[in-house]
């Protein structure tokens, strides 16, 4: 099964050359021997990840990063029966000792849950399952089922005491909205510790960069066009230096019924897939974990609430894409983002 995932991942990657996760076409810089590129691809967290680091420490560093994401996947997987998350979800209300990474994620998840007024809620797993997003056997649960399942959610009910975590019986935690961002951020730390000063890590729609390219120019990544039929086209190019960029979109995993699209980002206030005119949200900032959590949360919020949140919280930049082909970017990205011509999108730069 893993192999099948890997193959479809590889196929998707080749189709998507140049899309989110890919580097947009740009002249190849001439690099000196010391700044040679070192690559490592790995399959973890249900996705193909691709790491590139420059310089003499590069190869060892990307190998370390690849091992780290596999380790994190084993610890944090909601379906792996020997993961810490599995242990927590099956503890029947009993206290569970958790490791450093799971604790860091639980703490970040609660903080982001509070900050976003619950738009990010890592306890929605029973609903994610009920709608069929874990198996692909999609269905629309009845109102009563949804109401009953919502009773068993609420990120604030996760009790953390030192290294011990207690989850009320019936509740389940799922780090799907945060784990890749956390993994990317952790890998950046590992790479820096090994002396890497120039790197790009692609974990599906999550990008983490260290420094600039070896020639000093910014990394150029492509943001996917949410409307592109086979996801092969890109919306525009985003330049990054020392930043993470994470995209959540309604095209990642979804089903359609009676002309309505149901995507894998759930609205905690309804217990149903988020319905609003947004088609994708990209967050740019220093922390991969925060960018990942916020890309999911701001998608749930919809444009107006998302922008209100950006204005009050700050510390990150946003690209919002809407069904009517309007693209909204925060002013900090005005010099970093350029829209691709000919796709019919309109770029709107927001005011401070
Ligand atoms: P992707 O997995 O495509 O990177 P996201 O980061 O947006 O996308 O995370 C979506 C995943 O997070 C879902 O598959 C589900 O497991 C979980 N999830 C869905 N809705 C929410 C939510 N409102 N808060 C927290 N986790 C969510
Ligand atoms: Mg996310």
pLDDT of residue 232: 77
Residue listed under structure tokens 């019986």 = 169
173 neighbors 89 (Cβ within 8 angstroms): yes
Tokens matching residue 157: 């009910």
Residue nearest to atom 10 of ligand 1 (CA): 177
Q: Is the CB–ligand 1 distance for residue 172 below 6 Å?
A: no
* Spacing, Cα 274 to ligand 2 middle (Å): 14
Q: Is the CB–ligand 1 distance for residue 296 below 6 Å?
A: yes
Q: Is the CB–ligand 1 distance for residue 246 below 6 Å?
A: no
**pLDDT higher than threshold 80 for residue 71:** yes
For 242, the 3-state DSSP assignment is: coil
Question: Residue 20 — pLDDT band, cuts 50, 70, 90?
Answer: very low
Which of 218, 221, 220 lies closest to 198 in space, CA to CA?
A: 218
User: 119-155: string of b/e by CB count within 10 Å (b at 16+)?
Assistant: bbbbbbbbbbbbbbbbeeeeebbeeeebeebbebbbb
What does the alpha-carbon distance between residue 246 and residue 243 come to, in Å, rounded to a whole number? 10
Summary mean pLDDT of the chain: 91
Q: What is the chain's Cα-based Rg?
A: 20
Q: Is the CB–ligand 1 distance for residue 46 below 6 Å?
A: no
Q: What angle do CA 307, 238, 121 make, to 5 degrees?
A: 45
pLDDT of residue 133: 96
65 neighbors 51 (Cβ within 8 angstroms): yes
Q: How deeply is 341 buried, as exposed, middle or buried, from its count of CB atoms within 10 A (0-12, 13-18, 19+)?
A: exposed
- Tens digit of pLDDT for each residue in 29-67? 455 557 899 999 999 999 999 999 999 999 999 999 999
Percentage of the chain surpassing pLDDT 90? Answer: 87
Tokens matching residue 258: 């009676």
Largest CA distance in the chain: 64
What does the alpha-carbon distance between residue 125 and residue 89 come to, in Å, rounded to a whole number? 10
| Ligand nearest to the CA of residue 116, numbered in listed order | 1
Residues whose Cβ atom is located within 5 A of ion ligand 2 = 177, 248, 292, 295-296
| Ligand nearest to the CA of residue 203, numbered in listed order | 1
Q: Is the CB–ligand 1 distance for residue 235 below 6 Å?
A: no
**pLDDT higher than threshold 60 for residue 19:** no
Average pLDDT of the residues in 246-266: 93
pLDDT of residue 32: 57
Question: Residue 12 — pLDDT band, cuts 50, 70, 90?
Answer: very low
Distance spanning both ends of the chain, measured CA to CA: 48
- Tens digit of pLDDT for each residue in 279-319? 999 999 999 999 999 999 999 999 999 999 999 999 999 99
Give the DSSP H or E segment for 81.
none
- Tens digit of pLDDT for each residue in 195-221? 999 999 999 989 999 999 999 999 999
- Which residue stretches of 77-208 are H helix? 84-89, 100-115, 125-130, 143-150, 179-193
pLDDT of residue 60: 98
């Amino acid at each position: 099964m893993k192999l099948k995932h890997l193959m479809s991942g590889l196929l998707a990657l080749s189709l998507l050359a140049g899309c989110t996760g890919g580097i947009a076409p740009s002249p190849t810089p001439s690099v000196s021997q010391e700044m040679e590129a070192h690559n490592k691809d790995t399959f973890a967290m249900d996705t193909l990840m691709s790491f590139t680091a420059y310089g003499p420490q590069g190869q060892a560093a990307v190998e370390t990063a690849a091992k780290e994401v596999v380790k994190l996947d084993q610890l944090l997987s909601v379906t792996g029966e020997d993961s810490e998350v599995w242990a927590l979800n099956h503890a029947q209300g009993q206290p569970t000792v958790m490791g450093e990474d799971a604790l860091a994620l639980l703490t970040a998840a609660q903080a982001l849950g509070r900050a976003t007024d619950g738009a990010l809620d890592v306890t929605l797993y029973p609903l994610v399952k009920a709608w069929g997003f874990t198996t692909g056997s999609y269905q629309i649960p009845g109102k009563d089922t949804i109401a009953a399942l919502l009773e068993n959610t609420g990120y604030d009910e996760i009790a953390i005491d030192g290294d011990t975590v207690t989850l009320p019986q019936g509740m389940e935690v799922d780090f799907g909205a945060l784990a890749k961002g956390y993994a990317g951020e952790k890998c950046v730390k590992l790479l820096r510790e090994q002396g890497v000063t120039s790197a790009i890590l692609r974990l599906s729609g999550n990008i983490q960069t260290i420094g600039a390219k070896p020639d000093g120019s910014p990394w150029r990544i492509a943001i996917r066009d949410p409307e592109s039929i086979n996801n092969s086209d890109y919306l525009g190019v985003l330049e990054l230096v020392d930043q993470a960029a994470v995209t959540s979109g309604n095209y990642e995993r979804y089903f359609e019924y009676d002309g309505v699209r149901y995507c894998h980002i759930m609205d905690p206030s309804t217990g149903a897939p988020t319905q609003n005119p947004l088609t994708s949200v990209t967050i740019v900032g220093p922390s991969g974990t925060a960018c990942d959590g916020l890309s999911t949360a701001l998608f749930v919020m919809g444009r107006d609430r998302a922008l209100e949140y950006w204005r009050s919280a700050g510390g990150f930049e946003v690209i919002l894409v809407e069904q009517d082909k309007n693209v909204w970017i925060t002013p900090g990205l005005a010099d970093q983002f350029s829209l691709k011509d000919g796709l019919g999108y309109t770029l709107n730069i927001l005011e401070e």
